[in-house]
Structure 1
Amino acid sequence: MNCIITTAVKPGSALEEAANTIAGQLPAPFVARGSQSLEQIKVKYQAEVIIAVTRKGLVAHTPGGDFFFHPSMAELRIKNLINGKDDHMVNAMGLQEGMSVLDCTLGLGTDAIVASYVTGVPGQVTGLEAAKIVALITGNGLRNYQTNSIDAALRRISVVNADYQHYLAGLPAGSFDVVYFDPMFRRPIASSSNIKPLRLLADNRELTTAALQQAVRVAGKRVVIKETRHSSIFAGLGIQTIVGGKYSSICYGIIETGRTKCSD
């Protein structure tokens, strides 16, 4: 996917320097904004995606819309937890303070943020994201986005730009308490149209039996898969334990591994 890095209009030296650094990391060409519109840059350089470095963060302008980091429902879900309400993902994972979670499909990081809040300072949450642009923008957001109350949970998440199949294969058995997959953005949900640009940028491969077998090896306690309620993926992967809200369109498939996390 042809990508260009630029800045907001009148960026200043610090923002332009940051944009040049990001261009080197991706890597992608940096184009000074000057007086050019994004559309002019897109046409001139035949770019499919333009990442603009702005004072508020990174914004990827894609054919499917603008992609930028935001905590989505994470703040509300954490507020509900504080008020004593259940969270179906937290329950499915069996999360407690101090546990470790490997989120194999990080995306915007919403679920990882909730997991980071629950596991706390002694816990560990690592998010894998195969798509470089998604990993870049989500990683930058987790490091810099300012919230009212959950900044610490964002900052504790480690983002790795990696294919989960290869990453899992290189881990020792029992490396994490929970291994988590959220492959559901492969299919649109009417109420989730805001993830359209994410779906365009992300790795949309289906979860395979081979990857699931690696996840079972790596997970000390559970493998958890998030999917739509009537998805065929659970049956296809042989998952029999399925939990979720009675009226929710989302369910979680659980595989108990019956081990404990290996010692550091």
Structure 2
Amino acid sequence: MSIQQTNTSFIITTGDSPGAATLERAEELSAATGAPFIPRGRLSVAMLAKRCGASDVLVLIQDGVRLIRPGRPPLEFHPSMGYIRARRVLKGEADPMLTAARLQPGDSVLDCTAGMGADSLVFSVAAGPAGHVTAIESSGPVCALLMEGMKYYRSSVLEVDEAFKRVHVRNANHLDVLRSLPDRSMDIVYFDPMFRDPVVDSSAIGPLRTYANPAPLEAESIEEACRVARKTVLMKEKRQSSEFSRLGFQVEQRGQTKTVYGVIQIDSTT
């Protein structure tokens, strides 16, 4: 089996016995992301990556998708706590993030740090079919994982699955996106930067840290967010984080959780 070196940092492949539907998904994702689809053949994922000169391999299987960097734990798409929170919202329970954001059905949300999409899901469920959620992810491989995962994830709750499908995922730097948007064009702009010192070791978040940008948010990002937002700019951080004061957020400390939300309220009449 002859495989040429690729010009991208990640490739797309399948399990070792893919069905026609999985092969079609792989071709569609390749077209959407620009990452090459390389048939698996009999090669291991590690050997396929080595032969292609790729650092990451996105593996599509019949009931899911996983991102593999040889030598590291795989990153599998799953909404994790986002699914539990979404179900609570559907039952009419309050969610601290939504309360802090002042979100109403029909609102538009820009999630600047999508990660695995848990918060985007909760926003999408609460905003409803009339709302609009855009999730920005700077890592190309993670963005591809998110695109595929959101599109094909199936739970036991139809409203959750539909909310995932409504999220628009973009591979970009959030500051570039913010600079490109008109004034007061989104209701809510949200940031959940990767904590430099993780609160807990999580099987879901741990592998994601391999791909995350550890740099703190730039002041310009917040300035641009305040220009773009109509209602609120929201940031999630550790309870005692100095980032809130550095970036001008008012902290809303509810309960005894280790993480809290900082809010900048926007007067859209100015």
TM-score by length of 2: 0.88
Q: Equivalent residue for 2:3?
A: none
How far, CA to CA, are the matches of 1:13 and 1:74 in structure 2?
31
The equivalent residue for 2:16 is 9
Provide structure 1 residue ranges, at least 5 long, that are not aligned to the other structure: none
| Contact 1:101 1:115 survives alignment (8 Å) | yes
**What residue number does 2:258 align with?**
249
* Counterparts of residues 135-174 of structure 1 (less than 5 Å): 135-149=143-157, 150-174=160-184
Which residue number corresponds to residue 68 of structure 1?
76
- Give the stretch that moved more between structures: 91-100 or 52-61: 52-61
1:77 aligns with 2:77: no
Alpha-carbon distance in structure 1 between the residues aligned to 2:10 and 2:83: 31
What 5-or-longer segments of structure 2 have no aligned partner? 1-7
Deviation at 1:2, TM superposition (A): 3.5
On the 8 A contact 1:134/1:202 being kept in 2, the answer is no
3-state SS of the aligned residue for 1:178? Answer: strand
Which residue identity is paired with 1:6?
A: T
Give the secondary structure class of the aligned counterpart of 2:110.
Answer: strand
Instruction: Look up the match of 1:124.
Output: 132
Residues 148 and 17 of structure 1: is their aligned pair in 2 closer, same or farther, counting only changes over 3 Å?
A: closer
**Secondary structure, counterpart of 1:96 in structure 2:** coil
| Aligned residue pairs, count | 260
Aligned identity (percent) is 37
- What is the alpha-carbon distance in structure 2 between the residues aligned to residue 45 and residue 147 of structure 1? 34
Alignment deviations for residues 214-233 of structure 1 (CA, whole Å, 9 cap, x no partner): 00000001100011112121
Kindly provide the amino acid, as one letter, of the partner of residue 242 in structure 1: V
- Residue 51 of structure 1 corresponds to 58
Matching residue within 257, 262, 268 for 1:259: 268
Query: Where does residue 87 of structure 1 map in the other structure?
Result: 95
1:82-122 Cα shifts (integer Å, max 9, x gaps): 44432110111011111111111111111111111111111
- Contact 2:29–2:148 at 8 Å: present in 1 too? no
Q: 1:123 to 1:143 in 2, by over 3 A?
A: same
Determine the C-alpha separation between the residues in 2 that align with 1:22 and 1:68.
16
Deviation at 1:153, TM superposition (A): 1.2
Q: In structure 1, what residue type is equivalent to 2:108? A: S
In the TM superposition, residue 7 of structure 1 has moved relative to its aligned partner by 1.2
Deviations 1:66-91 (A, max 9, x none): 11221111221123234443211011
After TM superposition, the structure 1 stretch with the greater mean CA deviation from structure 2, 119-128 or 39-48, is 39-48
Task: Describe the superposition over 1:19-63 as per-residue Cα deviations: whole angstroms up to 9, x where unpaired.
Answer: 344345433444322222223324444542221121123211124
